[in-house]
Structure formats: C-alpha cells, structure tokens
Chain A
Amino acid sequence: MRKILVTLLFLLFGTSAFADCNIKSGSINILANDFPALRTFVETSKQCKGSADFKVTHSSEHNKIAVPALTANPSEFSARIAANSSIVPLMNQDLIRPLDDLVKKYGKGIQDSQLITIDGKVMAVAFMANTQHLYYREDVLKDLGIAIPKTYEEVVAASEKIRASGKMQYPYAAAYKAGWNLAEEFVNMFIGHGGEFFKSGSAEPNINNAKGVATLNMLKKLSELSNPDYLTHDSEAIKVEWESGNVALMTLWASRSGTLLDDEGDPNITKATKLTGPATVGGGNIPAATLWWDGFTLAKNRPDADAEATFRALAHAASNKKMVADAADQAVWLVEGFVPGPKSIGVIEAVKMGAKPYPMLPQMGLMHGALGSEIVEFLQGKESAEQALKDVEAAYISKAKEQGFL
C-alpha cells in the first residue's frame, strides 16, 4: 500500500515538476506492447503532452493490431512502438514516415546511435535494447559444484546433473510455446550455429542443412530437460515456473528480469536468482541469441500536426536522463545518461560477445511463422530433423510465393 502511495505521489509530483514541451495542438495516440519499461516510457512522454490529446493502447496483441490500424487513412494510431521484427511489416506496406526533419527540429537530446536508418532515412528512434539470456540459481549450482554454464552443451550437462541429484525434475526452462516463441528459440540457436536463413541475396530458404539439424537436436535435448508441457509455455509461464522454484537454469528475455527480481514471491529464490550472458552453442563464438531494439515509429497516414506533436512527446522520453536513472532496473536503455545496473548484465554481455541483431528482412516473418508450426512434430518425436526442416522450407516457399517474394 505504501509503495502504491509513494508511486502515486511521485507521479503527481513528477507531472508538476516537469515543464511540458509546450505542444499546442495535434493529437497523440500510441500503440505499444505491454511490459513495465514501455509503460514507463509512455508515461514519461505523457508529461510533455501540453494541450495535445493523449491516448495510449498497451497490448501484448500489438502485432495483430498494428498493420490494419495503420493502414486505415487516417490511421488509428499516430505512433507505434516497434522492434526489429515488427517494423518490417510496417516498412513492407509503406505505413511509417521518415523522421529526418523532425529529428533535426526537435530531436536535440537523441543520440545518433539511437536512430534506425534505412536507405539513409531515419525510420525509427530506438530507446531500449533486449535479448534472451541465461538466468541461473546460484544456490543450486553451488550445492552441486556446477560452474556457471557458458555454452548450451554445458547447460545440458548441468541440467542432467541437477536432475540426477534429485533436486529438480525439470531443471531447464525456455519459452517453447508452439508458434512465435518456439520459432524464436530456433532463430537464436540457428544463429548461434552460424546459420544464415536465406541464400545470399535471395529469398530462397537455407535451413535444411547440417546447421539446421544441429539446431533442432540441441532444442530437443533442452526440451527433454524441461517441464513436459513445454510446448504450451510462453515467457510468462516459465517465469511462474522459476518463481515456484521448479527451475534452476532458464533462457528468458532481459526485459522480464525486472518482474522476476521484484519483491513478490519467495525471497530466497529471488536472492539466489542470478543473470549471466547468453550461451554459445556448437563451439561457435557468437552467442545463440538475437539482439533486439525497441523504438518508436510514426504513422504515415496521419496529419503532419499529429506527427509533430507525437514526435515531440516521444522524443522527450527518448532523451530523458531522469527516466533512465529512475527506471534503470526496468530495461537496458539506449538513452544518454543510462548507467547499467545488475539487471542489464545479459544484454551487455550479449553485445560484448558480438551477438547478431534479429534479421530485419522483408520475408523473415514468413520464415518465423513456418518454423513455429513445422518443427513441433520433431520435438514430439514424430518425425526426423531432416523431414521437419524440409517441411519448414516447403511451408515457407508456398507462403513466400503467395506474397510475391519468390
């Protein structure tokens, strides 16, 4: 209760303390995913709204809404908080506007490194970075004398040891829910093996090879060490598993560390929860993980006045030193003045180790979709790795042909 009160007071105080940005007209309507860092970001931009109309929709279903809502003219939203993958459909359909003029006019505090430029034009302004990395239970590993795993081979060995000790039945967890999540794990592991999803310079798939098979075999080994319901577990579900003390090693998003390490739940587990960089796999030297940025884009089908008002409000947050200092725990901010805390280890390690960003290619969404449904039967032991990869490629090719990529 006291915490809520303090937060409320802070919010009240905060709003009055910040001078607004003197926005006189226009209306602002933002579509964003729903996690704490994004809420903080949008709240910060709201302080600057002036007399402009301000609306926001936080939804974990944001991907499903974005393209239809921005296709309408005028578009429902004036801004969309996007990431590497979700900016692609917006680019494909030509739904977002270049921001160069606005950056020049109002983007004083924004660092150059925050600008996402495509063909020389600024299409988005990033404000936070994300990746999936390892979490471990210090107490469990110490008890059994296991070193902190650096590769997925070590993760497998450690998990087997924990299982053999009888401490935990399913010591490993990752978001393997059939669909987007499972496909994302494949993408990470495949990149860790040094794979390229497409033959260079074309949209022809390139996953049915030794690297693809090795990727699937590793996913299978890990799935056997996970709760048998793994095909239904998303990030939220494995977070719950972790907080119930059923898991000792986990691959999870960096942006979830905030809620994982908050005051709720068993304090002993929270205390023993430690973060480390993402693991490598198959003797590779880059991590089996992808780097993500979250940034804002502005809708094309919206009057210039709205775009200007929206940009000014969001730029206020994207260059806000106070926000990144106050919410240093919530994310790895790309904003100037951010001092990385203990919860940022995962992302910082990933960058140091040379992790690759998620491929920002127009046809990648189709590949991701095909992976999410076609590799399930392999994990269930119903078909061979080669057959599963052949199915993925065939499913992808049909979709890519329909979309005109092949």
Chain B
Amino acid sequence: MPNKTFFWFFLPTGLAMILFIGLPIISTGIQSFYAQHDQVVKEVKKCDPFGCTVSIVVDNEETSKIREAKPLGKFNGFGTYTDRNHLAVDEIKKFWNETESFSAFVDQVTNLPFYKALIFTLTYCLFVTPNVLLLGFVIALSLNAVARKIRGPLIFGTILPMIVTPLVGSLVLFWMIDSQGIIGANIQNLMNDPYLSLKSSKTLTWITIIIYGIWHHSPFAFVVFYAALQTVPQEPIEAAIIDGASRFQRIKHIVLPHIYPVVTFVALISLMDNFRVFEPIIGFSAEGSAQSLSWLIYDNLVNEEVILFGSAAATSMMTIIGIAILLAPVLIRTWKEFKTAR
C-alpha cells in the first residue's frame, strides 16, 4: 500500500485513538505530578444522636479559594512516584543501609505495597503466559487431528472458559475451593488437615489464581492457533511424511515456523492482558494475599472514602511503562524483521 493511501486509511482510527486513548493518558500523566492542596482544617463542635464532641473538619471556604486559584492541586513533581506507596526510594535506601543480609533486604522491600503488587503481577505473567501458549497450541493441534464431525462441539466446549464472564468464572471456582466446597473439602481430607484453607494461605491463593488465569486465557490462544493451523500448506507436510519425519519433527520444522508470527502476536496480547490482571483478585476476594498493579489503582480510586487521584495516576503511568518494558524485546524483534523484509 502506498504511504499516502495508508495515511488516509488510518486517519479516522488514528484520530479516535488520540482522542480516546492518547489524551486520557496524557491527562493521567499530568495528574500524577500533582497532589492535593494542604488541607485547611478548623475545630468545630459536632453533635449527633450519641452526643457532642469538639473535633476538626475541612474548612470549605478557605479550601475552595485555594482550589479556584490552582484547580490542578499542589505541584508535587515525582513526589508521588517516589513515596512509600509507590517506588519508595527513601525507604529502599534506608533498608539497604540498615539490613545485614541481602535476604533481609529483599524481605523489607517486598513488604512495600508497590513491590508486593509488582512481584505478584510479574509472577502471574511469567507463569500464565507460557502455559497459555503451550496449552493453547497443544489443544489446537489435538483438535486439528480429531474427526471433523465432532470438532464443532469440541471447539465450543474448549472456548467456553473465555465465554464465561471472568468474575462469574472466578466466583464459581471461589466457592468450589471454599473449605466446605467440593475441592476445598476434598483437599482437606486428602491432606488430613482440617485447618488447611486454599484461601488463607498466600502461596495457595497465588497458585489458584494462576491456574484460573491459565484456564481462562488458553481458549484465546487456542482459537488463534487453530485458525493459523488451517493455513499450514499440506504439500510440505506430505513430503515430510514421505521422508519419514515423525509427528514431532513435522511440528517443529514445518508447522511452528509457519505459524511463528501468530505465536508472537498471541504472546504479545497475553502478556499485555496478564500484566493487567484484576478480576480474579476481586472474584476470589484475594485482596489480602494477592495484589496486582491494577488492583492498587482500583484500591486508590474506590476502596477508600477519600479518593487518591495522584496515587492512582502514578500507578497507571508505571503500569504503562511496565507493559512497554515487557513488550520491548518482542516489539524490537518484530521491527527488525519488518526492516529486513523490506
């Protein structure tokens, strides 16, 4: 396609992307550099059905004056990014100087909310993405090999986890692993430990969420791989069969190279999706044991009665940067291939 045609073709999409994705990101970025004005409080008498006390309230007259003068808030620079609830620069320096062994240092750092969430998010990505790719590929291969007659219903069954709303899917599993649920009670019997709970142990909660993630995301990989498998040319495969190549050799040397671009695509999308893991944490009520970056943003925006816009914006920006870093190797590779192809 000539560049000019491409430009006009892409223009409407591009404008919509700038309007609905670009500008909000910029606005979030600006927001993350601001904090609330210093609160002006005053002592007043408060009375309710249980009696009267003297305590403080926010002085709205004074506050509205300051707000009108500077509606964005107090400029904070990277203050929100470096505070304890985010990158915790000062705390990490302090831990480094005070702790004696490296493991004690790691313990201290992973106790900080941002790093705790980052570690869970990365662990989730690291376990879920490769397993989703592998499982999706294996299912696609097996389904491609079964008789055409039963393929339809089988495919439907396989993509069911993706059709089920994430929250509903996680809730169903949540009830099953309850200490009185079918899985939970059986594991207790099996281990002979009446106090064993999948929900109270941090490790077991992580494992549950990761298994749920693989279950939920595999169908996506499967669908794409299955479609790609339909495009694999039959001639080279037949030739390989005549040459005596085993099934494994055929997959390794013919099928995989053919669908390689699709694998990259699925890996990219899965990584992006998994880095934003959120619903299973709510569905499993796992806030206590597992927090992800997306959950931190949610927590700042809705879980508190006071909304922390600056914190939420800073975490959002860092999530975007995190995804960019994760995707960088794949993107660079695609870019290089694109260049050589020209």
A→B interface (CB under 8 Å)? 63-64, 67, 84-86, 88-89, 91-92, 94, 113-120, 126, 129, 169, 177-180, 182, 227-232, 291, 293, 334, 351, 356-357, 359-363, 365-366, 368-369, 372-373, 376-377, 380, 382-383, 387, 391, 394-395, 397-399, 401-405
Contacts and interface: CB of A to CB of B under 8 A. Distances in A.
Contacts, number: 169
Nearest to A231: B288
Nearest to A241: B180
A116 B49 CA distance: 7
A376 B289 contact: yes
Contacts of B291: 373
Determine which residue in B49, B56, B302, B304 has the highest number of CB atoms from chain A within 10 A of its CB, and name it: B49
Choose among A334, A365, A382, A398 the residue with the greatest number of B CB atoms under 10 Å from its CB: A398
A94 B305 contact: no
A116 B305 contact: no
B111 A362 contact: no
A232 B199 contact: yes
Nearest to A64: B302
Interface of B: 35-39, 41-42, 44-51, 55-58, 60, 63-64, 74, 76, 80, 83-85, 91, 111, 113, 174, 178-179, 194-197, 199-202, 284-289, 291, 299, 302-308, 310-311
Contact of A402 (B41, B48, B80, B178): B80
Contacts of A362: 39, 41, 56-58
Which has the most chain B C-beta neighbours within 10 Å: A86, A117, A232, A377? A232
A113 B306 CA distance: 28
Contacts of B197: 227-229
Nearest to A95: B60
A111 B147 CA distance: 78
A401 B56 contact: no
A116 B91 CA distance: 43
A357 B305 CA distance: 18
A403 B58 CA distance: 12
B308 A403 contact: yes
A233 to B, nearest CB: 8
Nearest to A65: B302
Contacts of B302: 63-64
A67 to B, nearest CB: 6
Given A395-B85, A395-B113, A404 B37 contact: yes
30 contacts: A67-B307, A91-B58, A94-B63, A114-B49, A115-B47, A116-B46, A116-B48, A118-B45, A129-B49, A129-B50, A169-B194, A227-B179, A228-B195, A232-B288, A357-B50, A360-B46, A362-B57, A363-B306, A369-B303, A373-B287, A380-B200, A382-B202, A394-B84, A394-B91, A395-B85, A398-B84, A402-B83, A402-B308, A403-B35, A403-B306
A247 to B, nearest CB: 13
A377 B113 CA distance: 12
Given A357-B51, A365-B306, A399-B311, 10 more contacts: A92-B306, A118-B47, A227-B197, A229-B197, A231-B288, A232-B288, A334-B49, A360-B46, A387-B111, A401-B83
A178 B295 CA distance: 13
A356 B55 CA distance: 14
A387 to B, nearest CB: 8
Contact of A89 (B179, B195, B202, B306): B306
Given A232-B285, A373-B113, A291 B310 contact: no
B199 A229 contact: yes
A96 B199 CA distance: 41
B83 to A, nearest CB: 4
A231 B289 contact: yes
A366 B308 CA distance: 9
Nearest to A71: B307
Contacts of B200: 228-231, 380
Contacts of A372: 303
Nearest to A388: B111
A361 B42 CA distance: 11
Nearest to A397: B84
A397 B84 CA distance: 9
B288 A360 contact: no
A74 B156 CA distance: 48
A229 B304 CA distance: 24
A271 B19 CA distance: 62
Contacts of A118: 44-47, 57
Contacts of A363: 306
Contacts of B80: 402
A378 to B, nearest CB: 11
Contacts of A356: 50
A259 to B, nearest CB: 20
